[in-house]
Structure 1
């Protein structure tokens, strides 16, 4: 059904996971500016509002003032210095969030041209679970998947077997 429709494998997996846990009748606040995946969510019937590019480490007012039923954050927390503060500021009882996992054979991602496109955190799954639990969330469902590339070399081969992404659905305790 999805073959060829999405530019990234993670979009298909993320959308399937989202549909499993969130109804299109629920309002979503998606952390991060509008992006290709928030456009996909809207095209699939979800009512999505995005944050406006504010530095969520400093300003969580959009989150605390939100009346959304669900908060989503897809590949956002690795860019924050203090994701715990953001998680605590969420008032809704449902979240769906994904992060890239730490790869033992590669350094954390850091763009050479974009000062915002860098990873302060790359989590192991247990670290992200612990962060969520400490911030008052109970994980209901989780999924990991690989992100293989079509390049040649040891690292590309390892990407076929090593999970790169981790997504969770959690509810407020």
Structure 2
């Protein structure tokens, strides 16, 4: 079943200022001391996938198909999922699939927008989660939070281009997490 709301990454995506900030912040969060042998980047290959491969000298696999109902296979030490959850109808199913393929001592690094007023949501987002709701989702899916951070993705000048961008200065943040298996 084709999902008309799932978009491929357009060729201009990596050239946008917000994307460059997002890439840098995501790489900074993962850090250069991370060591792993197998990795999966959820979603289409992007500039970030290539940067991570170069930085860590490890090939990153990518997912194909619809993440709302396709199962994931493999065994990975690191899984990255950058701004994917908000596009899924069923983020719990997806997280359960990731848990299944994550090695016992593996790490999931995930980012998603922090919830903001509905009128500021992107039309492609089905979910934007508050801090408490996403952490409850992680718990139900069998993950614990190792660490978290928040960042903005637009250059400062962006926020002074009108009322809506100014509101984004107040509300628009990305939450990024490092997760591991919940002790069971």
Does residue 82 of structure 2 align to residue 70 of structure 1? Answer: no
Aligned pair partner of 1:104 in 105, 113, 117: 117
Query: Given that residues 6 and 12 in structure 1 are in contact (C-alpha distance below 8 angstroms), is that contact kept between their aligned partners in structure 2?
Result: no
The normalised TM-score by structure 1 is 0.80
> Counterparts of 1:158 and 1:28 in 2: how far apart (Å)?
37
State the Cα deviation string for residues 31-60 of structure 1 (Å, max 9, x = none). 1011121121112124211112x0011111
State the Cα deviation string for residues 136-171 of structure 1 (Å, max 9, x = none). 111010001123425522332233343420000011
Q: Aligned residue pairs: how many?
A: 157
The residue that corresponds to 1:10 in the other structure is 22
Q: Gaps (5+ residues) in structure 2?
A: 1-16
The residue that corresponds to 2:5 in the other structure is none
SS of equivalent to 1:15: helix
> Counterparts of 1:168 and 1:21 in 2: how far apart (Å)?
17
> Counterparts of 1:26 and 1:19 in 2: how far apart (Å)?
16
The normalised TM-score by structure 2 is 0.76
Matches within 5 A, 1:20-169: 22-23=34-35, 25-47=36-58, 48-52=60-64, 54-60=65-71, 63=72, 65-89=73-97, 90-91=99-100, 92=102, 93-104=106-117, 106-110=119-123, 118-148=124-154, 149-169=158-178
> Counterparts of 2:125 and 2:18 in 1: how far apart (Å)?
24
